[in-house]
Chains A and B, each alone.
Chain A
């Protein structure tokens, strides 16, 4: 932006909404912290911190995210954030309501709950954290675990003959009416961070404009359970994760899909 003063604050200071806390929430090299920052920046830039209500699923996002972002927030039972968000949004339509959910939370225990929120055409936004495993409980297989990937419950690597195939959430979501936006992003390079921020902003905007559900999937590093160093995680994302889960915009519509007679 022309004429804007570039300060230290602007470059690497914390967003105003990021609540400073005396202890570390996430493992070193985890991307969740970067995503929290990104969410804060988006809420601030859209100026919606006053009417935003966040809901975090069960996972590594459960405690930290509601605490760390200075807006109305609740942690939710495992997989149920979309049902709770539905009620909050329907009761307070002027609020901007979003869920932050892991891949076990949204893709396994909460898949039905999530799918039904999409089927009902709720006006919500969901940030989906795909780290290809259950982080919190010790790195077990998630619906998003890549074939052949070793986890604590697939010690020989994920075998499709017994465990099926990875969930491609962003592609699936894009097929559904009522969804206005669906994209997959990463934050493993600065360029990708910027693209991801734009995606999250768009996903919120679709809700605010009443067009439909906004969905953004993040490929997120989990050094602890991938048993890789943070730099090796970046490599794993760019070599393995992106091959299975290509970052892209899968749906972006500006006019609601409501049949005209219902508008």
Chain B
């Protein structure tokens, strides 16, 4: 068995990337993901890699773009405001069809948000694309340190396989919670070589590569470009949808949740079962492509859905779309956080505890 260590999700992200052969990291400090660049700055020089602390997240994403064009496995990590700053670059990476991985350890709220506080309020931006031009990125949502480690390996594989950007979406709780992680190396199918990498044409039998724009790549014809991308996205939808279904076969209430909220929801499902209530959990692992069909089938079997997310309601939109009005969909959002009574912090700085979820479940199942 591979070595087991006690590390937080952020370190698991960094270690997972390195075990995937990513030797180059470009990033800018922001809470709650600083452990990732700090780890990389320490470890990458030891293995002949590149660590650059950029001047802003826009620069980080362009360094990632350059590194991806250079044919290397490259990444950056950031948190919500920094992710916003990266949108133009993300759009360009998607246009160029070069593989790269970006991690967003999200924190709560728009603008500066609540600095260090947890939350899941980037779902819509990350899954629907905050940049221009109708592109798609694969989005993975690990819910444990082990998954952070494993998903980074998967992310680099999928990025290379489809030549797309893969976004790994975690949050403060997943990023900073320490858990045992087995440092296992996952096996993947072989990948084609990167004969398109920019590194000097002498290294490519004298055949140069140049890149101007997507339209240019497809004979100046935008419909041909979008046709090609639609085919790529369809292939991804056909083979890369991932989710976890937990105690849901005989459930009469389907709880749908992802990331840190899914940890709470899983516990709540067990608590409900102990009371004889037939709750089950559906946890999307790929947020794009979203497991639409699987959600719909599980929802219809159960007859009722409760979405749990630490946000005013974003995942719930995808769930409603998947369910198509066939069964009722309820939301336990950021208002479901535990609020200490009588203290100074009465603003809901707590989390959505399993007990909060259980209370909701009791009303529905």
For the complex, is B72 an interface residue (Cβ under 8 Å from A)? yes
Query: Are A116's CB and B55's CB within 8 A?
Result: yes
Instruction: Give the residue of B52, B58, B206, B213 whose beta carbon is less than 8 angstroms from that of A63.
Output: B213
**A66-B202 contact given A77-B92, A90-B52, CB 8 Å threshold:** no
A51, A76, A84, A96: most-surrounded residue (chain B CB, <10 A): A84
CB closest residue in chain B, given A112? B55
A65 CA to B358 CA in the complex, in Å? 63
Number of B interface residues in the complex (CB < 8 A): 38
B56-68 vs A, CB cutoff 8 Å, 1 = contact: the mask equals 1011001111110
In the assembled complex, which residues on chain B have CB atoms less than 8 Å from the CB atom of A95?
199-200
For the complex, is A204 an interface residue (Cβ under 8 Å from B)? no
Comparing A67-75, A155-163, A183-191, A238-246, the segment that makes contact with chain B is: A67-75
A92 CA to B5 CA in the complex, in Å? 34
B197-232 vs A, CB cutoff 8 Å, 1 = contact: the mask equals 011111110101111110010000000000000000
B140-177 vs A, CB cutoff 8 Å, 1 = contact: the mask equals 00000000000000000000000000000000000000
Q: Which of B61-93 contact A (CB under 8 A)?
A: 62-67, 69-70, 72, 74, 88-89, 92
For the complex, is B258 an interface residue (Cβ under 8 Å from A)? no
For the complex, is B339 an interface residue (Cβ under 8 Å from A)? no
Query: Are A66's CB and B62's CB within 8 A?
Result: no
A76 CA to B96 CA in the complex, in Å? 10
Query: Are B212's CB and A63's CB within 8 A?
Result: yes
Query: Are A62's CB and B58's CB within 8 A?
Result: no
A80-122 vs B, CB cutoff 8 Å, 1 = contact: the mask equals 1001111110111011100000000000000011001000100
A80 CA to B85 CA in the complex, in Å? 13
CB closest residue in chain B, given A84? B66
A-B pair number, CB within 8 angstroms: 122
Instruction: Give the residue of B59, B70, B210 whose beta carbon is less than 8 angstroms from that of A92.
Output: B70
A66 CA to B210 CA in the complex, in Å? 6
Q: Which of B180-204 contact A (CB under 8 A)?
A: 198-204
How far apart are A210's CB and chain B's nearest CB, in angstroms?
16
A87 CA to B199 CA in the complex, in Å? 11
Query: Are B202's CB and A50's CB within 8 A?
Result: yes
How far apart are A89's CB and chain B's nearest CB, in angstroms?
9
For the complex, is A41 an interface residue (Cβ under 8 Å from B)? no
Instruction: Give the residue of A50, A51, A90, A113 whose beta carbon is less than 8 angstroms from that of B62.
Output: A113
Query: Are A74's CB and B72's CB within 8 A?
Result: no
For the complex, is B24 an interface residue (Cβ under 8 Å from A)? yes
How far apart are A116's CB and chain B's nearest CB, in angstroms?
4
In the assembled complex, which residues on chain B have CB atoms less than 8 Å from the CB atom of A60?
none
Q: Which of A197-228 contact B (CB under 8 A)?
A: none
B92-114 vs A, CB cutoff 8 Å, 1 = contact: the mask equals 10001000000000000000000
CB closest residue in chain A, given B23? A91
In the assembled complex, which residues on chain B have CB atoms less than 8 Å from the CB atom of A113?
55, 58-59, 62
**A88-B202 contact given A112-B55, A113-B59, CB 8 Å threshold:** no
Residues of B within 8 A of A (CB): 24, 26, 50, 52, 54-56, 58-59, 62-67, 69-70, 72, 74, 88-89, 92, 96, 198-204, 206, 208-213, 216
Pairs of residues from A and B, 6 with the lowest C-beta to C-beta distance, nearest first: A50-B202, A84-B66, A87-B66, A51-B200, A83-B62, A87-B67
Known: A49-B202, A91-B50, A91-B72. 11 other contacts (CB 8 A): A66-B210, A71-B208, A74-B210, A77-B92, A80-B62, A80-B65, A84-B69, A87-B50, A90-B24, A91-B74, A92-B200
A–B pairs, 13, beta carbons within 8 Å: A50-B206, A63-B216, A72-B199, A74-B211, A77-B89, A83-B59, A84-B65, A84-B66, A85-B66, A87-B24, A87-B63, A91-B72, A94-B200
